[in-house]
Amino acid sequence: MSVPRRPTDPSGLERYYVLTKGRSGPGGSASSLDVATLIVSRAAPAPGMQHEYAEIVRRCREPLSVAELGAHLHLPFNILAVLLADLLEAGRVEARDPIPAHDAGRGPDLALLEEVLSGLERL
């Protein structure tokens, strides 16, 4: 007598449910994450750390945007945001705004744009 096979979940939703422990979105300060937020590791992966957490910490030794990280790990934004919230709370990673707050309302640096244009014209 054969044991009935459990159907697989081709959508990956079951895996995501397990990864996030049933949570559908980040809480606390991590709720302000967006795709342009830069993530940087503050520590090395801990022994026995869940694979996805360890992979995030490893890949973020250099600043990496949430969008890039999601593409590398093949994870949707909301699932990745939950995992990042856990790592932020544990102090394993830090989140940085891609544009410093004091520059956010000013627009692009005109001097820099002029230098880029000048360099392009020389090509």
pLDDT in tens, the chain (123 residues): 555 555 555 556 667 666 776 676 666 666 678 888 999 999 999 899 998 999 999 999 999 999 999 999 998 888 888 889 999 999 999 998 876 655 555 666 777 788 888 888 887
Q: What CA–CA distance (Å, rounded) separates 89 from 116?
A: 40
What is the pLDDT, as a whole number, of residue 76?
A: 87
What is the pLDDT, as a whole number, of residue 116?
A: 84
Residue 41 has phi, psi (to 5 degrees) of -70, 145
Tally Cβ neighbours within 10 Å of residue 53.
19
| pTM of the model as a whole | 0.67
Return the SS3 of 16.
Answer: helix
Q: What CA–CA distance (Å, rounded) separates 121 from 123?
A: 5
Q: What CA–CA distance (Å, rounded) separates 4 from 24?
A: 31
Give the chain's largest Cα–Cα span. 77
Neighbouring residues of 51: CB distance < 8 A, sequence distance ≥ 6: none
Could you tell me how many residues make up the chain?
Answer: 123
Q: Which pLDDT tens digit goes with each residue over 46-63?
A: 899 998 999 999 999 999
Taking alpha carbons only, the member of 96, 11, 86, 22 closest to residue 54 is: 86
C-beta separation of 61 from 75 below 8 A = no
What is the pLDDT, as a whole number, of residue 78?
A: 86
What is the pLDDT, as a whole number, of residue 93?
A: 94
